[in-house]
Structure 1
Amino acid sequence: MSASIAEREPALAVPDLPAMARLARFVVRGEVAGPVLAKAVPIVLDTLAVTLAGGAEPGHARLAASLEPHPGGVPSFWSGARYRADDAALLIGMASHILDYDDVSMQAVCHPSAPILSALLAAADREATSGRDLLDAFVVGTEVLIRTGQAMGFRHYALGFHATATLGTLGATAAVARLRRLDEATTAHALAIAASYASGLRVNFGSLVKSLHVGMAAANGVRAVRLAEAGLEGAAEALDGEGYLNAFSGGETRHWPASLELGRPFALAEPGFEQKRYPCCYLLHKMIEAALGLRRETGLDLDSVAAMRVDVPQGGTKPLIHPYPKSGLNALFSAPYAIAASLADGRIDLASFTDEAVMRPALQARLRDVTVVEADAASRHGSDVGLAPVTVTLTPVSGASVSRTVVLLPGSDKDPITPDQLRAKWADCLKRAAPRADQAGIDALFDEGRGLPAAARIGDWLGAVIRTVEEGRA
């Protein structure tokens, strides 16, 4: 077992270590300071909110029906059933991502929080785990996830992998290993197992399998730690050389870049994650902001424009594989729909992505009037895509064309979701999960969650969340 949190060393620069030893050392020894833990609190609240809402979706119920309850196991947030830890992680993980409302890190083109928190909620002994312990493991897991993605660059995503799933498996393993205070050798074996568990393809975007990927990553993180604790050993070279980095980068990355350090600073703190204002693929958010801004400024709506154009960076359409969606799930990855719906409705929210909303004849008829153009310059890193401007140009039925360019990442530290917006999102999500829940009770849970760093055990708060959802379900 490793040292306690209070005894751990600060994250150290280790430019000469192989990737496996580097990650294992960081997971065991890296120190997470109080200010970083504090920054994790609203992110955990945001992720739990969208997870609770996602559990009300029919697709999530189908997954639950396929699993066998396990007496004495992890309690479900949505029913009285209990499940084995890995099955609980699968359920929580799918719920966390099914609405595509969870946060993003454009440094690795992924959703960092969902697989990590899902694994921790399933693996933690809720009566023995403090709020600080949970946050500490969460920060470490997301750091491993994001920095591994940075090590491989945008090539990993461009090859067709769903980075949240592939990177999330390593991150979830790191988080659970940290929570369980494994030593470096056992942590390394768990990461080696996770390297072979990692999977997920972008071609499944627009289907339930995309959100299932997050559950798979969380469940496999729990399994990898359990197997390593049981004595299963993996290769020390599972990440370097011919291993994970090489395989998932198409041969571009064989070793961890010496300049890429873990926890110096933590990605969660600088530049931070992008928390979503809109429940859809994050690469739609800048174009939504631009389209809604033009509607407000000019009064133009869908009926008053003849054509719409969106200019995006190269790679900016990689996940947008459903230009002409036929379902709400498809529309989460549709640039034409995002533009048309923004102009038609003057808003984008959870109601925008029902099957009925997507299949409105007036919108379907206009999807081919939206042109999406990628820039010529290549994007080598996820941050290249994230930081590049997105421009929406509207050509009215009469009059001159108008354009609006959005540069800042919506929901990032440069354009943050406000505390009031986060509280409202929490309430909206919990009302979706538990329509009969009392508003005062929902607000009280949010306020209690903000005190997570000082909580002696997470079970009290999570138990109250479970009771609120159970009592408030229709």
Structure 2
Amino acid sequence: MSIAVAAPGTARNGLSTTEVLTTFAVEAPVDDRAVSAAVPVVLDTLAVTMAGGVEPPVQALAGTLEPQAGGVPSFWSDQAYRQDDAALLIGMASHVLDYDDVSVIAMCHPSVPVLSALLATADRRNTSGRELLEAFAVGTEVLIRLGQAMGFRHYGLGFHATATLGTVGAAAACARLLKLDRRQTGHALAIAASMASGLRANFGSMVKSLHVGIAAANGQKAARLAAGGIEGAADAFDGEGFLNAFSGGTVTSWPEEVGLGTPFAILQPGFEQKRYPCCYMLHKIIEATLALKRETGLGLDDVASATVDMPNGATKPLIHPYPRSGMNALFSAPHAVVAGLSDGRIDLRSFTDDAVARPGIQGRLNDVAVVEDTAAAKQGAEVGAAPVTVTLRPRSGAAVSRTVTALPGSPQDPITPEQALAKWTDCLLRANPDADPQAVGRLFDEGRDLAGAPEIAGWLGRMAEVARRD
């Protein structure tokens, strides 16, 4: 069963938005195609999570948490934590490198808050791979379609959509995994609606990735509270509820044109998986810059200046043109161009504090101009479909330009199986440089059969063994 909504102010059969989301979360079947599509997405998300767990901000967070005997085991230490603390930790780790996937139709990172919540909530010995994947597909669908319902206005107001939408998506996923009934699931969504938070103003700081942990923790907590008897409003989404509040008053009910599971977003249009560990709005810039370097042989010293032409609205997340740290640089178009020309690559090494602080990099940031076009501001998927052009002006010779239209890692320019394995290996070896590469590869192969796994405890336990440093 797939559920589409219709008629402004109501859903099909006169249901409220809460009822539509609840019915979908509880009853919607997830077919084999959606389950299969979820497998590589989950593998990609787990890879970047493993790598992120050893980053200093995540280690600092771990130092604030109190271990709990018999709790959710950590991937990175011999400690275990309460479910909400585990979700907080896994969530921050999943996003701290900004290497996780994207959905441009909702301007968010769909997988990390949902999977982080599920990993902290699941009874791993009694949860099959398919149950995990079905709950994941349901949670990401709710997250993305809720963002689609509100449109770009939500993001434009300054909210971090991954954090706000992620709380509700995580609650839906956990409710599905825990097999909550319709009444309990409706209350879980209502509780999550009041727990949703996150501001774009914190981009470039540790708090951006902490947002994902907060969303995962709050989402799974909302499901547990509802299971325990805590009740929310009958309709927390329509009228003056979630839709109105988070859209700045522009949306008060579910739009007729937005459906749930018709098809699942994980199938169509699909998620965008990252080739580069930084804000997705930098990826076309990076592709164009590296292509120009390959084709012309120009290095940073050969280039006098550069211009990046972007669609109106695409620079909203790029709030650190002159970065002073690796986290700042994740949102810096000038750094992407300058570092790409200097090093001939953009990878995890490009966003260390030392790499960003190099005098040769800092001294050239002013030579990159970022220009938005004067057309009407584009929103959501329109931004993703719009071209980005990088123009280099050499110290001698004519200017050269490259335009990139397809989003790197999108279905139009997908990550290859070889690139997926390489990313998996790079991430797990970042978590533990001493890990056996063959063991890392076996984990990848095992993960590709996740849909048929009778339980997830063994695979996740072996992953922790490989990723954990002695």
TM-score range, shorter chain: over 0.9
Note the alpha carbon deviations across 1:289-347, whole angstroms, 9 max, x for none: 00001111111121111110001111111111110001101000000000101111110
Aligned-partner SS, 2:124: coil
Structure 1 equivalent of residue 287 of structure 2: 289
Instruction: Return the match for 1:78 from 63, 76, 79.
Output: 76
TM-aligned CA deviation for residue 436 of structure 1: 1.0
Distance 1:445 1:452 in 2: 11
Structure 1 equivalent of residue 423 of structure 2: 425
Structure 1 equivalent of residue 398 of structure 2: 400
Structure 1 equivalent of residue 210 of structure 2: 212
Structure 1 equivalent of residue 367 of structure 2: 369
TM-aligned CA deviation for residue 81 of structure 1: 0.5
Instruction: Return the match for 1:327 from 279, 300, 325.
Output: 325
Q: Is the 8 A contact 2:88 2:214 kept in 1?
A: yes
Kindly report structure 1 stretches of 4+ aligned residues shifted beyond 3 Å.
none
Distance 2:210 2:124 in 1: 24
Instruction: Return the match for 2:241 from 222, 240, 243.
Output: 243
Structure 2 equivalent of residue 94 of structure 1: 92
Distance 1:255 1:375 in 2: 32
Distance 1:378 1:112 in 2: 27
Aligned-partner SS, 1:127: helix
Distance 2:311 2:5 in 1: 34
Residue identity in the other structure for 1:434: N
Structure 1 equivalent of residue 267 of structure 2: 269
TM-aligned CA deviation for residue 13 of structure 1: 2.7
Distance 2:240 2:67 in 1: 40
Distance 2:59 2:234 in 1: 40
TM-aligned CA deviation for residue 398 of structure 1: 1.4
Instruction: Return the match for 1:355 from 343, 348, 353.
Output: 353
1:11 aligns with 2:25: no
Q: Is the 8 A contact 1:154 1:379 kept in 2?
A: no
TM-aligned CA deviation for residue 125 of structure 1: 0.3
Q: Is the 8 A contact 1:113 1:142 kept in 2?
A: yes
Note the alpha carbon deviations across 1:253-285, whole angstroms, 9 max, x for none: 111001211000111111111100000000000
Distance 2:251 2:4 in 1: 20
* Residue pairs, 1:122-141, within 5 angstroms: 122-141=120-139
Residue identity in the other structure for 1:122: A
Distance 2:330 2:402 in 1: 22
Note the alpha carbon deviations across 1:339-373, whole angstroms, 9 max, x for none: 10111111000000111110111111110111101
Distance 1:88 1:99 in 2: 18
Instruction: Return the match for 2:186 from 185, 188, 191.
Output: 188
Residue identity in the other structure for 1:12: I
1:387 aligns with 2:385: yes
Distance 1:409 1:178 in 2: 32
Structure 2 equivalent of residue 67 of structure 1: 65
Structure 1 equivalent of residue 22 of structure 2: 24
Unaligned runs of 5+ in 2: none
Distance 1:345 1:419 in 2: 25
TM-aligned CA deviation for residue 380 of structure 1: 5.1
Distance 1:312 1:253 in 2: 28
Q: Is the 8 A contact 2:5 2:254 kept in 1?
A: no
Q: Is the 8 A contact 2:313 2:372 kept in 1?
A: yes
Distance 1:13 1:430 in 2: 40
TM-aligned CA deviation for residue 230 of structure 1: 1.3
Aligned-partner SS, 2:464: helix
Q: Is the 8 A contact 1:246 1:252 kept in 2?
A: yes
Distance 2:43 2:59 in 1: 23
Note the alpha carbon deviations across 1:209-240, whole angstroms, 9 max, x for none: 00000000000011101111111111122111
Identity of aligned residues (%): 66
Structure 2 equivalent of residue 469 of structure 1: 467
Note the alpha carbon deviations across 1:380-414, whole angstroms, 9 max, x for none: 53111111110111111112111110000100111
Q: Is the 8 A contact 2:313 2:378 kept in 1?
A: no
Q: Is the 8 A contact 1:153 1:380 kept in 2?
A: no
Q: Is the 8 A contact 1:150 1:381 kept in 2?
A: no
* Residue pairs, 1:94-243, within 5 angstroms: 94-243=92-241
Distance 1:435 1:296 in 2: 30
Aligned-partner SS, 1:393: strand
Q: Is the 8 A contact 2:106 2:148 kept in 1?
A: yes
Structure 2 equivalent of residue 434 of structure 1: 432
Distance 2:177 2:425 in 1: 29
Aligned-partner SS, 2:391: strand
Residue identity in the other structure for 1:114: V
Aligned-partner SS, 2:422: helix
Structure 2 equivalent of residue 255 of structure 1: 253
Note the alpha carbon deviations across 1:137-175, whole angstroms, 9 max, x for none: 000000000000001111111111000000000000000
Q: Is the 8 A contact 1:108 1:381 kept in 2?
A: no
Residue identity in the other structure for 1:466: A
Distance 2:3 2:333 in 1: 43
Distance 2:405 2:229 in 1: 49
Aligned-partner SS, 2:324: coil
Distance 1:164 1:209 in 2: 13
Residue identity in the other structure for 1:129: T
Residue identity in the other structure for 1:458: I
Aligned-partner SS, 1:267: coil
Distance 2:19 2:58 in 1: 37
Note the alpha carbon deviations across 1:107-147, whole angstroms, 9 max, x for none: 11110000010000000000000000000000000000000
Distance 2:231 2:279 in 1: 37
Distance 1:298 1:466 in 2: 44
Unaligned runs of 5+ in 1: 1-9
Residue identity in the other structure for 2:324: K
Residue identity in the other structure for 1:11: S
Note the alpha carbon deviations across 1:413-456, whole angstroms, 9 max, x for none: 11000111010111100001111111111011110000000000
